Amino acid sequence: MSSPFFNEDHESIREMARDFANKTLAPIAADIDKNEEFPMDVVGQMAEMGFLGLKIPEEFGGLGLDMRSYVCVMEEIAKKCATATLFISSANSLSTAPIVISGTPEQKEKYLPGVVAGEEFIAFALTEPNAGSDAASMTTKAVEDGDSYILNGRKCFITMAPISKYSIVYAKTNPEKGAKGISCFMVDMSLPGVSCGKHEEKMGQRGVPVSDVVLEDVRVPKDCLIGELDLGFINAMKTLSVGRIGVASMCLGMAAEAIELAVEHTKNRVQFGKPLCKHQAIAFMLAEMETKLNAARGLVYNAAWMMDNGMKADKEASMAKFFAAEAGIEIVNKALQLFGGYGYSREYEIERIYRDIRVCSIYEGSSQVQQIVISGQMLK
């Protein structure tokens, strides 16, 4: 597609991602959803193609590309398999951004290459049972003890926790300071006192395991502190701005696929003597869906372009995530409606997309949190 936001290099990597999605992911997406397991050999293929290191600096094994390249890949992969995008987004945002943003050269050298190669996974543990949208209310604590910190707490809904070698954990080092007393730690998941809770039975995006991470008197060396003491909350918020663009891009892909499926179905499905798409009510539904998709694209592409050009884009990232998620859910819902009873059957791809996209208005900052961010920027 032609866009003032992208150049030939962006469109080239988009085409590569589209080809991979069509040939490799589309044939196995339904089985991934059914079996709740993503093939590790396919993760290896994504690593070989550079998808797991799109935004990682070249000196640590990545491609060192920009945010728009990341958007292109996420959008195309999501069209065929939303679960696959979780491996790509984790590797390029939540798992690595805290280190890229605040880590020491030694930490970057230790942790980033394994992620880029698809050999190691790093979980991002911020959310807690009583601290979801209100992350500053977390109760996980890290108490200094000689050359270490002792961590105690429980994180929930942690993507990839059961298969991760490490986990980035946010904990309060100075609880009386609230959000200004949170620090970021890299925790080896094999340390004594670290355990995972039960496997979460999810509605969608089922090919990646999610569980609690429980920390019971976990001793973490001081060199596992990521960034400065008590500045972890800032690190988390900067990381989430990157992650929100990824989720928004995922929504674009799923919504685009839903529209394509709906158009094809309404062209072929004959009711009342003519194809469904020839009924004005149906045609106008499709027009509205297409318009909202392209409005979402404009917000997402603009936010990515701003980030690539060194502009502050926290508000724009939140607007992109907010609108793309809400519009995407609406578009997929209408697409399923156009399939009628068939859309409710698991034999049809639209049913899986409907389940996969629903979480996008919840994780990495709910739609209501995005509204807080957006209005906060407007009213400060």
Which residues are known to be catalytic?
Answer: 364
Who contacts 143 (Cβ-Cβ below 8 Å, separation ≥6)? 149, 150, 152, 173
Q: Integer distance in angstroms from the first to the last C-alpha of the chain? A: 38
Q: Are 301 and 68 in contact (CB under 8 A)?
A: yes
Burial of 317 (0-12, 13-18, 19+ CB in 10 A): buried
Measured CA to CA in angstroms, residue 117 lies from 41, 44, 89, 320 at distances of 12, 7, 14, 30
Measured CA to CA in angstroms, residue 64 lies from 52, 53, 55 at distances of 11, 7, 5
Pairing mode of beta strands 122-125, 166-172: parallel
Closest CA to 130 of 153, 114, 99, 107: 153
CA dist 53 and 60 (Å) reads 9
Kindly report the number of other CB atoms within 10 A of residue 145's CB atom. Answer: 12
Longest dimension (CA), the chain: 80
Q: Are 336 and 351 in contact (CB under 8 A)?
A: yes
